[in-house]
Amino acid sequence: MASRSYGKWPAAVQRLAAVFAVLGSVFALLCFGLIGAAGAAERPVQIVALGDSLTAGFHLPASAAFPVQLERALRAKGIAVEVANAGVSGDTTAGGLARLTWSVPDGTDAVILELGANDMLRGLDPAATRSALTEIVRRLKARNIEVLLCGMRSAPNLGLDYGQVFEAVFPDLAAANGLILYPFFLEGVLGDRGLVQADGLHPTKEGVAKIVTGIMPKVEALIARVRAKAKS
């Protein structure tokens, strides 16, 4: 093949071509770095929803359970997140503590802690509920995992004294450990026949959607804590 001719200024043209080649390489490296940084910033926050039947999705299709609806709502807002369902129907706070290690695997950034309703329904001593939740929180904090604590109200038939002691567990624990608190997981749902199943307690698909809407600001605050920690 005949060599290309650049007329009277071959050296100048070659130097110019070399400059453009270098600039192109620099631009490519800069773009790669920027894309890499953006990709790292968008690593999905790993959240585990640790709870009982209210989390598990009792009598609901898997796609309607709280963790799934929450993840879908967060992603719709452009938030990179993965929410694992670690809900076990009938679980107490003691049960959650017993399975904590395998329910919350390594790599978890945050936990939404929704336990205590079954303690209350069984009339268990609120001191035992407080003790189990305190130990769960202690272990999670030792693993550098952020916690959003969900509160629960007591059934009226258990009496005023029991209700006051039980319900105080959640705000007390949140205040003592600097946790984000969602005061009542079933806020706006319990008591609404259109949002609960026939048992009057477990939410329907629409009830779960209502919970997701209510808790969303607290979950966003939880994610902000995780992101801030990653940058520090």
Query: Residue 48 and residue 112: Cα distance in Å, rounded?
Result: 6
Choose the catalytic residue: 103, 109, 154, 202. Answer: 202
Contact yes or no for 115/182 (Cβ under 8 A)? no
Q: Which of 53, 103, 119, 154 is catalytic?
A: 53
Question: Is-catalytic flag, 59?
Answer: no
Residue 232 designated active-site:
no
Residue 99 dihedral angles phi and psi, to the nearest 5° = -105, 15
- Cα–Cα dist 9/98, whole Å: 80
Residue in the structure block whose two tokens are 């290309």: 4
* DSSP letter for each residue of 37-103: HHHHHTPPEEEEEEESHHHHTTTS-GGGSHHHHHHHHHHHTT--EEEEEEE-TT--HHHHHHTHHHH
Which entry of 3, 106, 199, 232 is annotated as an active-site residue?
A: 199
Q: Which of 148, 162, 63 is nearest to 114 (CA)?
A: 148
Element (H, E) at 167: helix 160-177
Alpha-carbon span 164 to 11, nearest angstrom: 89
Tell me how far apart the alpha carbons of residues 115 and 13 are, in angstroms, rounded to a whole number: 73
Residues serving a catalytic function are 53, 199, 202
